[in-house]
A and B are shown apart, each in its own frame.
Chain A
């Protein structure tokens, strides 16, 4: 203990280029989410030796790490949309319901088109994405056009959405027997799940739009101070509306992955409570929930952390009655680790003890 604090004090004293580089690295916002994820996985590896093993089986990679990434994909997509909305001082708690609507619309479309060729697949994807965009447009209009508070505006669709999905499905779980659709959630490309490529593509497109155009700057400006951004001539309303539409589309994509993974659309249970996990992922990733500061890569890490937690719980065999309590304790620990204030206090405490000992 004394040794580590000693080196810490030494490292902070060094003002060489090496030290400065280290400090910049320590101050990087993605460091703590990344460290959390690595700690979680490493802890699992220690606890359960086979956990980190990867095998090549049936022409693709097979193992817990692949499962975590694959299972996190829908949450990651929704978190990307949520990040953008939160960065603009909004919130979308209807994502779970939108996911269910999109999944049901896709399954309904496939059920009503003759099953030959790839036409039903494209129609299903187009219909689901259109449904997601429409839901996003509705949310965005309520926030921007009707001036509702985001949490209230999206609450409407959160409550009504599952009803809409159920009326499409006729209250049934729609089962699909159409092989091409199943590829979205089960297929592999280059040995990796196809879902990872979907997430990567959306992430890359979003990064491109935010980094290579002024959009990123506008989003930050609106998030930090909407009035100032408006005065400066930023089209805040259009951008906010666009963010909700994007969030709806992201949820629809997630719906396609979720429903194709189990070859069925369950209007009641698909994406249940996903909105809370998405908000948690955004928070874990280091974005400010009040808007302005945001990190897309952080949200991806947040989604991976949440799924790693879930898989950990399954792997170590926690009794199901205490699942949620264990998850809450782990999330609490992660949040404490990520809080600069808490870390500062911890550091001060350690320093105090070291000084006393000296």
Chain B
């Protein structure tokens, strides 16, 4: 009798163990995802998109917020390795310093997918793929929009540029792409270019100085992100000019505020920098887990939005 009891208890424990295992269904992929933080609306939208795409039954997501610190992120990656997840995905806070932890993941046989930002490593086999925006292409798109919008307009067209944070990858690449396109047309003259640190306050302050220095002879503003454009719009209005008409404005990101400004006719176009790549990421993770060959670089699908699309697109914007 006593033995039967023990047997029964053991059976119960074994069954419980079984049922816990049953929680992980066949074919379910366990993913450890480490996000940069929650520093902007863009990032928050990115997190929401990833979380909503990597859901049961296909995925078991272990999410970790690094609060913009590399050490937190390395800790998170180590804990994913210890938990033996199937795939690790992360958006690196900085470019360098990833070699050791990526080698640990490789040794454990866990493939790594990078999202949004790149890493600098000596051995490219340390990660499977990088999915994210192509900042140079975004700059080119802004340039192309401007070319198209300026057809038939006589030169010289005086352009001012609000750059992002000096030395940051988006600032360098967006500038490069934009110049690649507009430098082919001699009508365009870049009269001022200064950093506005990606913020509204600096964008407004620098635009004020531009307007005074150029005496109002500015035809086009290119801002490396929407927030600086939103700040600059206020400066243009305070100078007694009409943003969107007297000065045509194109910026990058496609945040909600930009759509509101376009709807009000104050911003002409925004180039989408799409954070909603959760579904694309989910497909990539499935392929990587299945051992299929994947491209080393996957560019997110991104559009160009202009004023006439703004009102229709605004209610659907998630960020």
Contact = CB atoms under 8 A, between A and B. Distances in A.
B263 interface: no
Contact of B239 (A62, A261, A311, A320): A62
Interface in B15-74: 37-41, 43-44
Interface in A190-244: none
Nearest to A166: B38
B209 A323 contact: no
Contacts of A63: 212
Contact of A173 (B208, B209, B227, B234): B227
Contacts of B44: 171-172
A119 interface: no
The secondary structure that dominates the A interface is mixed
Contacts, number: 80
A314 B198 CA distance: 16
Interface string A50-77: 1100000110001110010001000000
B200 A264 contact: yes
Given A172-B44, A269-B199, A323-B195, A314 B209 contact: yes
Contacts of A173: 40-41, 200, 227
Interface string A299-328: 000000000001100110101110100000
B212 A67 contact: yes
Contact of A269 (B167, B197, B238, B240): B197
A261 B204 contact: yes
A172 B256 CA distance: 12
A206 to B, nearest CB: 26
Q: How big is the B interface, by class?
A: 35 or more
A314 B192 CA distance: 9
Given A58-B240, A171-B38, A317 B213 contact: yes
B11 to A, nearest CB: 49
A258 to B, nearest CB: 6
Contacts of B163: 320
A11 interface: no
Interface residues of A, number: 35
Contact of A315 (B38, B195, B197, B212): B212
Interface in B232-265: 234, 238-240, 257
Contact of B201 (A58, A172, A258): A258
A166 B234 CA distance: 25
B231 interface: yes
A262 interface: yes
B201 A261 contact: yes
Contacts of A57: 239-240
B280 interface: no
B194 A320 contact: yes
B210 interface: yes
Given A262-B201, A270-B201, A314-B194, A171 B210 contact: no
A195 to B, nearest CB: 13
Contacts of A258: 201
Interface string B191-219: 01111011111001110111011010000
B37 to A, nearest CB: 8
A83 interface: no
B201 A266 contact: yes
A175 interface: yes
A79 interface: no
Nearest to B212: A64
Given A64-B212, A314-B209, A186 B238 contact: yes
Contacts of B197: 269
Nearest to B196: A320
A166 B38 CA distance: 9
Contact of B234 (A58, A62, A262, A321): A262
A261 B198 CA distance: 16
Contacts of B37: 171
A48 interface: yes
Contact of A311 (B40, B209, B238): B209
B166 interface: yes
B200 A50 contact: no
Given A48-B213, A261-B204, A262-B234, 9 more contacts: A50-B213, A67-B212, A166-B38, A171-B37, A173-B200, A262-B200, A268-B40, A320-B166, A321-B166
Q: Which 7 A-B pairs have the closest CB atoms?
A: A171-B38, A314-B209, A320-B195, A262-B200, A269-B199, A315-B213, A262-B201
